[in-house]
Amino acid sequence: MTSPRLTSPPSPRSRLLAPLLYLVALLLLAEQWLWEAGSRFGGALSAWPPLRALENAVRALPPYWALLIFVLPGLLLFPVKLLALLAIAHGHPAWGVMVFVAAKLGGAVVVARIYVLTLPSLLALAWFARWHNRFIMFKDQLIARLRASGAYRQVRRSVSNLRHALRQLRRKLRPSVPFGSRHATRSARALRRFVALWRRRRKPAGSERP
């Protein structure tokens, strides 16, 4: 008869690192959502002919020029984010948060599209391909660990319930009579007649022409 296997309690180090790992995973999830939204938005904008020609030129860049184009938006947006943090520190939290969020969203759109355009050239650099693959594996492991946790499932259920409640509220607020139907047109005519009659009654008698 085999004795039951006892599981060792988690070490203090793992207890300290677990919240940090989940925080990093949450940030990576948010970053992934921003990149996906930015890629879709940038793809929609690429239908504009001048922008399409510019994207073709970016695709044809050699690896190190592509690397320069890839890191340039982050370098340009860093002072903007720093100014936003300074505004928050000096008692202007609303402006600081708005500027920071706008810079983050705009940067996500630009960087995500540039990443898609320059990735084939960047992977030609051996050191970039090596670190890129390591980062992708590390990110996937963190996201998989987060999605397997009970807290993530609970938050996901809460978000799903909130979306369902918003859909129900939108359905209740939607007018029961569709716009442009016969009943809606008849109601609009009756309302116009009532407004015209009300205006005639309020009009002074002396203001009418002989």
> Could you give the percent of the chain with pLDDT greater than 70?
70
CA distances from 149 to 14, 87, 145 (A): 15, 37, 7
What is the per-residue pLDDT for 56? 85
Total number of domains in the chain = 1
For residues 62 and 121, is the Cβ–Cβ distance under 8 A?
yes
Which domain range does residue 94 map to?
20-151
The answer to the question of residue 15 being in a domain is: no
What is the per-residue pLDDT for 175? 56
The answer to the question of residue 194 being in a domain is: no
102, pLDDT greater than 60: yes
Give me the mean pLDDT over the 158-173 stretch: 79
The answer to the question of residue 73 being in a domain is: yes
Q: How many CB atoms lie within 10 A of CB 35?
A: 17
In tens, the pLDDT along 105-151 reads 777 778 888 888 899 999 999 999 999 999 888 878 877 877 787 76
Distance CA 40, CA 46 (A): 10
The answer to the question of residue 2 being in a domain is: no
The answer to the question of residue 125 being in a domain is: yes
In tens, the pLDDT along 64-76 reads 999 999 888 888 8
Element holding 59 (H helix, E strand): helix 49-59
Q: Tell me 48's DSSP state.
A: S
The answer to the question of residue 187 being in a domain is: no
The answer to the question of residue 198 being in a domain is: no
The answer to the question of residue 199 being in a domain is: no
